[in-house]
Chains A and B, each alone.
Chain A
């Protein structure tokens, strides 16, 4: 009987493929956001509202991850995005390999911004680096204010947390301060934005946040 030391991250192969994706994105000069949330928090609605404000200024690519259907891709296309739908067929997350497989089908060279809409799930996608610049968690006021401590991994990993559906706050018992505190505890460096993709409240700050990240990305490349 003998012991063979390994000392390796189980995700090391995914991380290696994510670095390859990152290189492709970086060479194309695009900013990439990986959006993770529960189903129904408003990822696609936020993308639609974002595209309405950005699509006349720049080319935006969207990679849609869903278990099945092209519905989300149809929605964002109607708002000016190009891109591709990945159906995971039951899989609960996108992986670096799935992203790498579709990169050749995307018009990255003429684009400035790429959104990856992950499969609606707060658990599994958090351990899969896809090669993005920003891992973003979207939560919504209708999900209840106890989510950060219940799903620590994604809030720890995400560098940006966006709280959606703020227009519904008057009708809910949702403690925004508590949520912000829990997010900060899990990731003191996390940025937090609050908005309503439906009424437009807070959307200007979100667009300004994207523009600032785009400028930051360009500055580091020149």
Chain B
């Protein structure tokens, strides 16, 4: 539900990057969005379309790398998926677990026409 404010924060970063590439046309924005990041990719894309309509970024494609949540057992070192995580490590039963991926909310790169 806060996709709009996340979209605005993202656009500030895009603006400051595009200022260094005067005259270039923005084509794509590459994002890493973890499934545990609280951001829903479909809603983010919709918010982006609404905010950018009629402006210089209209028609820009959001390329979202959707990253599943995964964890690693700090005791036995086993890697596993989120579905396995609820009851602890599937190998040794420990709850001493580190979330290793799935919380990303990053802007990775832009693709521009020079």
Contact = CB atoms under 8 A, between A and B. Distances in A.
A127 B2 contact: yes
Interface of B: 1-2, 5-6, 9-10, 12-13, 17, 21, 27, 31, 36-39, 69, 71, 74, 82, 85-88, 95-99, 103, 105-114
Contact of A7 (B9, B87, B108): B108
Interface stretch (A55-63, A133-141, A160-168, A179-187): A179-187
B110 A153 contact: no
Nearest to B44: A10
Given A4-B109, A186-B99, 8 more contacts: A1-B114, A2-B111, A3-B110, A4-B112, A8-B107, A92-B2, A124-B1, A127-B6
Contacts of B38: 123-124, 126-127, 153
SS class of chain A's interface: helix, strand, loop or mixed? Answer: mixed
Interface of A: 1-14, 91-93, 95, 121, 123-124, 126-127, 149, 152-153, 156, 181-182, 184-186, 188
A185 B88 contact: yes
A3 B69 contact: no
B103 A12 contact: no
B14 to A, nearest CB: 8
A184 B5 CA distance: 30
Contacts of B74: 188
A189 B74 CA distance: 12
A1 B27 contact: yes
Contact of A14 (B9, B82, B96): B9
A9 B106 contact: yes
A8 B106 contact: yes
B86 A3 contact: no
Those 8 A-B pairs whose CB atoms lie nearest each other, nearest first: A124-B2, A184-B95, A4-B110, A92-B1, A152-B36, A188-B96, A153-B38, A123-B38
Contacts of B12: 13
Contacts of A152: 36, 69, 82, 99
Q: Which of B10, B99, B114 has the most CB of A within 10 A?
A: B99
Nearest to A187: B99
A126 B38 CA distance: 8
Nearest to A151: B38
Nearest to B102: A152
Given A91-B5, A123-B38, A156-B36, A6 B95 contact: no
Q: Which of B2, B38, B69, B85 has the most CB of A within 10 A?
A: B38
